[in-house]
Structure 1
Amino acid sequence: MTNIAVINYGPCLDYPAMFPEVADRLHVFSHHELANTQGLGGYEHVTDCEAVPYPELMIRRMARQRPFTHIITDNEYDLERVARIREDLGVPGQSAAGALSFRDKVVMKRVARRTVPTARFARLVTFTDLTDFTAVHGFPVAVKPVKQGGARDITVLRGDDELVAFSRRPWREDLMVEEFVQGPMYHVDAVLAPGYRFVASSRYLRSCLGVFSGLNNGSVQLLPDDPFARRLEDFLDRVLEAFDTPEAGAYHLEVFHTPDDRLLMCEIAARVGGDRIPALTRATYGVDLHTVSLRLSCGLPCEPPPTGPPAEVHGSVSVLPQGRPVRLPGRPPFPWVRHYEVNERIPPDAVTLHSASHLCFVIVSGVDAVEVEQRLLRAESWLMERMDPAPRPLP
């Protein structure tokens, strides 16, 4: 009989709704408190769940009484430990080696280069490895942790002065360096399983690293029959040929498009894309990436993905924290604005820490990527022009 352990991160996931027929056999350990846990076989909110070993200890102990048939997670930072638990308990799913290849960016790029090109890169053991790399390949380069996500802790070095400044910072032992690639970046989001294939391609409105220089972040969907979308889908297939993949899985691939029309793999994750990607996918295709990928991972049926072209595509732009309290102007008054949301959990004086940082975001629709981008920029301008400093509280 089905018995499922879940290590959850997403604050808005509704597991009873996602797994109605087996909710009483779901045992959820969650980083965030969930609004609906009624009918679950077990639920526990665990502070710092993704960092503490408590969920792993409990899952192993529970398995002694009643073996688990599936152990799943929605969280990239839990992929490796969930894979280790599966292997130790003889539960099917992604292997530990497979999880590592999607988590360690150096291992990831070494694996991917069997079938597709990537930017040049190197693991950094000492600072000399960095200076050796720049001596051979020049500037600019990107230095980043091998297992971080959301563009966190990435430093772009554009010349020797920035290299010297970087040398004054405490050294980390989890770094890599890669050449900085010019050109737009695309992302491909997929759920693949026997009898199920969903692939959607999008272009980032701006570089994910642009958030650290004050540029708002966003994404624009491509029509599935766009020739470039088909080219990206083919690139995804070639990338995955190099990896040890589970029978069912979700993937978020980031791809550079160079000025000389080459595609280079940036990164690939074995999970649902973050930020507004799930919301955009629901709006255009009616596909809930989290529900579909997690159900398929447990061998449960799902509605087939749509086969016809969508009536419209969507895009989003997120307004960055300003580092000071501001008054948000409210929903832009355009008929093509499909959703507007304010981040109620962020401090008023927050600064940008990662690519998903935001004060608010807006989702718009359009007939194609060109119209969506035009509307996003118009909505963004409307918001930014009306974002006034918040009044200071009375003493």
Structure 2
Amino acid sequence: MTTLVINGGSSNDYADMLPELAAGMVVFTQNPLPAPERYAHYEHVADCESAPYTELAALRMASDPTNPISFEHVLTDNEYGLERAGRIRDRLDIPGQSEASARVFRDKALMKDVAAHGVSVPAFARLDTFPDLLEFIAERDYPVVVKPVCQGGARDIAVLRCEEDLTEFSTCRWRDDLMVEEFVPGEVYHLEAVIAPDFRFIATGRYYTSCLEVFSGANSGSVLLHPREPMAARLADFFDTLLKVLPAPDVGAYHLEVFHTLDDRLLLCEVASRVGGARIPQLIRHTYGIDLKETWFRLATGLPLRAEPVEAPVVVHGEISMTPRAGRVVAVPGPPPFDWVAEHVRTLTPGDHSSGPVHSASNVCWTIVSGTDSSQLMDRLHECEGWLDVHLEHGAPELTP
């Protein structure tokens, strides 16, 4: 059985997640993976998520006149590889998510066009030209959010709150992949799911702060909701309704973000057909005892699960990530001294230089805590954040000559 893997992350171990398939895996990866000798074919491709080399190589392998490879599965953990994986499946008639399905989950404007047939979405418009933005603002007023339709990690997003912001935005180079939508005040929730025939896993959570606030220096994080919390059921119902109108594959993983408005409505922020990023997988592992990627990939390849999710967790978990500031890192604290701290990781060390946050998950260190529900988790994250802030030290930004 030959499995094509298009990998983005640096910590994925496909041979560990799928030992039954490792010897037949053809792996193309953007980041080096441990022990590549375990795979049938392994190539480190520096720009794997953007360059089409993987498609060329896989199609050549499949059509080799002397020794053609018959791929039975195509796996990718990388959002930027979803459409590429879909094209390969379509071309080689391999089961799984098609290119057309992947595009709906990647293109945020197309996504909202389709999703609006089932759930509420913010007012939005695709931007072909700058006057399209002026027209949207004239109709909707400020604030508005301008963002690329296929970007991730809250990169390259602009919030325009006034005419001065618009003027500043107009001095930036125009892009052909932009959309605009109304700014939605309120909280942002997220939902993580793996769905397959005869299998359904859903976990819900709330972001500690807005992903956009990270670029203003705020710390980021998330708390899981206990399944008994009322909002958990509301989010699950929203997801079920949404999935009915989207071209979802038979086996899929999903990361859904939902606005909870000040007048208690739920609006779609966006949904991706992959596992949630940042520390969401760690929160799921601590709370439900499963690895989201392993669960997704084993179901997608027809393998039995090695772990079943906990149905009624005793505690849930939350995470706080300390956002880096521009300059030299002077001191990074160890674990906060609380018995409800479950895990603490330092991603930068004293002496490292930082340019500040480059995406919504940028951090100096992160800490996972446990609690009975999301309310207790938020209280503990506030306490944890205060302790970390006292013990974390950045130097002054370096002056450019």
Normalized against structure 1, the TM-score is what? 0.96
Say whether the 8 Å CA contact 2:316–2:371 is kept in structure 1: yes
Query: 2:362: which partner in 1?
Result: 357
Q: CA RMSD in A?
A: 1.7
Q: Which amino acid aligns with 1:316?
A: E
Q: Which moved more, 1:45-54 or 1:264-273?
A: 45-54
- The answer to whether the 8 A contact 2:4-2:25 is kept is yes
Q: Distance in 2 between matches of 1:86 and 1:347?
A: 43
Alpha-carbon distance in 2 for matches of 1:273, 1:391: 33
| Kept after mapping to 1: 8 A contact 2:288/2:311 | no
What is the rounded CA distance, in whole Å, between the counterparts of 2:379 and 2:327 in structure 1? 28
Task: State the aligned residue count.
Answer: 392
Aligned partner of 2:61: which letter? M
Summarize deviations over 1:33-59 as a string: whole Å, max 9, x none.
112334222222111111122211111
| Aligned residue number for residue 338 of structure 1 | 342
**Residue of structure 2 in register with 1:386 after alignment:** 391
TM-superposed CA distance for 1:289, in Å, is 0.5
Contact 1:5 1:28 in 2 (8 A): yes
Match of 2:8 in 1: 9
The 1:159–1:247 alpha-carbon spacing in structure 2 relative to 1, beyond 3 Å, is: same
Kindly state the Cα deviation for residue 302 of structure 1 after the two structures are TM-superposed: 1.3
Kindly indicate whether the alpha-carbon contact (under 8 Å) linking 1:72 and 1:294 is maintained by their aligned counterparts in 2. Answer: yes
1:243 equivalenced with 2:242 (yes/no) = no
TM-superposed CA distance for 1:27, in Å, is 1.1
Q: Is the 8 A contact 1:6 1:26 kept in 2?
A: yes
Q: Which residue of 2 aligns with 1:158?
A: 161
* Residues 16 and 37 in structure 1, CA contact (< 8 A), matched pair in contact too: no
Residues 367 and 115 of structure 1: CA distance in aligned 2, closer, same or farther (over 3 Å): same
Tell me if structure 2 keeps the 8 A contact 1:14–1:37: no
Q: Which residue of 2 aligns with 1:39?
A: 38
Q: Which sections of structure 2, spanning at least 5 residues, go unmatched? A: none
Report the alpha carbon displacement of residue 313 of structure 1 after superposing the two structures with TM. 0.4
Matches within 5 A, 1:1-395: 2-64=1-63, 65-303=68-306, 305-306=308-309, 308-326=311-329, 327-344=331-348, 347-389=352-394
**Residues 52 and 347 of structure 1, relative CA distance in 2, 3 Å threshold:** farther
Contact 2:147 2:180 in 1 (8 A): yes
What is the rounded CA distance, in whole Å, between the counterparts of 1:296 and 1:227 in structure 2? 29
Secondary structure at the aligned position of 2:71 is classed as: coil
2:251 corresponds to which letter in structure 1? Answer: A
Q: Label 1:390 to 1:179 Cα distance change in 2 as closer, same or farther (>3 A).
A: closer
TM-score, with length taken from structure 2: 0.95
Would the alpha carbon gap of residues 214 and 24 (structure 1) be closer, same or farther in structure 2, given more than 3 Å must change? same
Runs of 5+ consecutive residues of structure 1 not aligned to the other structure: none
CA deviation digits over 1:181-208, x for unaligned, max 9? 0100000000000011100000001111
Do the aligned residues in 2 keep the contact of 1:196 with 1:304 (CA within 8 Å)? no
Give the C-alpha shift of residue 246 in structure 1: 0.9
Give identity over the alignment, percent. Answer: 50
1:61-97 deviation per Cα after TM superposition (whole angstroms, max 9, x unaligned)? 2222121011110000010111011101111111111
Q: Secondary structure at the match of 1:349?
A: strand
Q: Which sits farther off after the overlay, 252-261 or 57-66? A: 57-66
Measure how far apart 1:160 and its partner are: 1.1
8 A contact 1:27–1:41 mirrored in 2: yes
Q: Which amino acid aligns with 1:342?
A: R
The offset of 1:305, in angstroms, is: 3.5
Contact 1:15/1:37 (<8 A) preserved: no
Report the Cα distance in structure 1 between the residues aligned to 2:395 and 2:358, rounded to whole angstroms. Answer: 22
**Alpha-carbon deviation of 1:342?**
1.2
Task: Measure, in 2, the Cα distance between the counterparts of 1:233 and 1:263.
Answer: 12
- In 2, the alpha carbon distance for the partners of 1:176 and 1:127 equals 11
Cα distance in 1 for residues equivalent to 2:10 and 2:304:
24
1:388 is displaced (CA, Å) by 2.4
In the TM superposition, residue 391 of structure 1 has moved relative to its aligned partner by 10
Secondary structure, aligned partner of 1:325? strand
Shift in Å, 1:224: 1.0
- Deviation digits for residues 188-232 of structure 1 (CA, Å, limit 9, x no counterpart): 000000011100000001111111111111000000121110110
Mean alpha-carbon deviation: is it higher for 381-390 or for 76-85?
381-390
Contact 2:256-2:270 within 8 A present in 1 as well: yes
- 2-structure distance, mates of 1:260, 1:177: 22
> Aligned AA for 2:336?
P
Contact 1:224/1:230, CA 8 A, preserved across alignment: yes
Whether the 8 Å CA contact 1:198–1:305 is kept in 2: the answer is no
